[in-house]
Chains A and B, each alone.
Chain A
Amino acid sequence: MKLVGIVGSIADQSYNRMLLRFMSTQYRNMADIEILDISDVPMFNQSNDQSDSPAIQYLNHKILAADGVIIATPEHNHTIPAALKSVIEWLSYNLHPFTDKPVMIVGASYFIQGSSRAQLNLRQILESPGVNAITLPGNEFLLANAKEAFDESGMLKDDRTASFLGSTLQKFVEFVGVIGHLNGRADNPGASEDLYATGNCDTTVKDVDMRDPQWLEKAAEKTNAVSGDAYVKLDRGLLTVNQIDRFLKTMPVELTFADENNQFIYYGDQGHDPKDMLASRTPDQVGDPLYYVHPERALKGVATVINNLRNGKTDLFVLPVPGNGPTKHLMHYYKAMHDEDGVYRGINEWVVDLWPIVASYLKQTGKKLVDDPNAKVAATTGASSSAPVEPDPDASTGASEEEEAPTAPTTDASTGASEETEAPMADATTKASDADIFVAEVDETSGASEA
């Protein structure tokens, strides 16, 4: 679940920012909380409409894309800070990103009342018709005496306070689910995926343009990345960077890595011409946000698949890509990666041609393939069809192993069937590249033979 946390204070040093930071790290198993600052937002002024300014548009998009919003408000003069009120005014004037958006209010204050009046007031503001948010009822979280509440590493000192906060957040997460259902967001789980990768994760390299063709070189310099004969300790083994490269380049699959921020940061360059790859990638694409390496029509499907992997709805998404002739059977696999704490950390994609394996099996065993008259294989294996392939791994792989057949994000199976423009899947006439979730042909024409 994707939440944004708005820091209601523009002070350089803010306990409300600390509170949100604590929540985003401590409860990252519960929700992915991205923290938004409001420092760059000008004072609301009806006579000088700046709804289109980058600072306001940024907040607008982030809120629109989020499943829910947490606002951490200080208390100034018994109410919310003018800066926060100004943001809400901008976002209730020509733009209305809060409409029907679930919102949770928390607050830290220096004093015993712990921002209670500000919170009450904020609730009233959020429910006014121009804002129209849906605030989580009850469940106030007031952090009083904020100065004494955190230790040096930004953790809440008092366990009871922390666990109360955790249970409040848990309720909010459930609330977001319920409201999301009412709002019909459940039908479009990809809506909250930011394919532009405008946020960042802890491995994102800052201040290097993701779209720069030289992103790799620049980001490597910025991070003082090791290369060549430097040793890297792995679980388990010790290899030099050169050894890792050789190792990955000789994998019998094409590998791609997208991080949890939806940035494409690696592919195994085996030295082939991009056109000869099972799924084409070019060196300059490395570093690009996923948005830019897919044709427009694939984006919705891509977002849905990523979101299902991110939220654990599926751990492995398998996409057969037929239509490459009788001696090729391409498969795309998308596997969610997680860290030790179980937090989603991106996608491992591998593309493989299964035909050599099948051929070798047939040769070894002296068997041959015959059509099963009872099979309900989609008519898509015929190379002439231009209908999109339903992402139904069972049908086209014929695999019977249940565990290899994850519940595919069938959202597209139902809606995508008629709108072939949106599914992340191949149509039979294109090469694998169009089907690819990460890096499709940027050059639309090469793949668009059905147009």
Chain B
Amino acid sequence: MNKYIAIVGSNADKSTNRQLLQYMKQHFAPVAEIELMEIKDLPVYAKNADRKTPEQALEMAKKIDAAAGVIIATPEYDHSVTAALLNALSWLSYSVHPFVDKPVMIVGASYGALGSSRAQGHLRQVLDSPELKARVMPSSDFLLSHSLTAFDDTGNLIDADNTKLLDGLFQDFEKFVEITKQLNGTLSQDKVNATNVSWQDKK
């Protein structure tokens, strides 16, 4: 059984994206182990003289390194990824690069009708940058709209079509993880490249 890290893209106490990941953790428990990861409490990202990464981010990087893949649930703020999530990703692409070649599945929930679609598109672009260089599962949006009313009291998704879609996507993601293992021709080079990109901004 594969182990996955599920990053909550919100730093707020209440988040429907966290709810979505909690649902996935419980719902997919028979087939996969999913551990939720929080991004709050990280300091605001800033370059620093000795290239230090906060302890919390190093811990996160270790867990991501060890995981078979990462699921990210992103809210949408101002048509884009939250500052808090961008912040976490900056720390996770500075002195450490746990995302390089890591399979990633993007999901997202929003209060409105669009289900964080613009934030998800944005997140793809970010994860594709040279220091992150994750392997995001292609054409696989899971957009949970009207997220405030999407769950029942026990935390299950109310809409059956949504459940079915998510089941299918997760199955695909598990296959994607397997396939990605074979796409390792550039693996070692990718790691080096990602590190070098960051070196360039060293004064």
A residues lining the B interface (CB < 8 Å)? 10-11, 13, 41-47, 76-83, 85-86, 88-89, 92, 110-111, 117, 121, 124-125, 127-128, 130-131
Contacts and interface: CB of A to CB of B under 8 A. Distances in A.
Contact of B93 (A77, A80, A110): A77
Contacts of B86: 76-77, 79-82, 85
Interface residues of B, number: 35
A10 B78 contact: no
Contacts of A127: 79
A44 B90 CA distance: 16
A373 B18 CA distance: 83
Q: Top 8 closest A-B pairs, CB basis?
A: A82-B87, A86-B83, A85-B83, A128-B79, A82-B86, A78-B129, A46-B12, A47-B13
A89 B78 contact: yes
B203 A77 contact: no
B201 interface: yes
Interface in B160-184: none
Contacts of B188: none
Contacts of B201: 110
B11 interface: yes
Contacts of A111: 200
Nearest to A131: B78
A124 B40 contact: no
A125 B78 CA distance: 5
Given A45-B11, A46-B12, A47-B13, A89 B82 contact: yes
Main secondary structure of the interface of B (DSSP, over half): loop
B125 A82 contact: no
Nearest to B88: A82
Interface in B72-114: 77-84, 86-87, 89-90, 93
Contacts of B11: 43-47
A121 B123 CA distance: 11
B83 A124 contact: no
Nearest to A109: B201
A79 B126 contact: yes
Interface of B: 10-14, 40, 42, 44-47, 77-84, 86-87, 89-90, 93, 118, 122, 125-126, 128-129, 131-132, 200-201, 203
Contacts of B93: 77
Contact of B87 (A86, A117, A128): A86
B120 to A, nearest CB: 13
B83 A77 contact: no
B88 to A, nearest CB: 8
Contact of A78 (B44, B118, B128): B128
Given A124-B118, A128-B78, A77 B90 contact: yes
Nearest to A84: B83
Given A86-B84, A121-B80, 6 more contacts: A41-B44, A43-B11, A46-B12, A78-B126, A79-B80, A86-B44
Most chain A CB within a 10 A radius of its CB, from B40, B81, B83, B122? B83
B34 to A, nearest CB: 24
Nearest to B46: A10
A131 B78 CA distance: 7
Given A124-B79, A125-B80, A128-B78, A82 B12 contact: no
A40 to B, nearest CB: 10
A125 B79 contact: yes
B60 to A, nearest CB: 15
Nearest to A122: B80
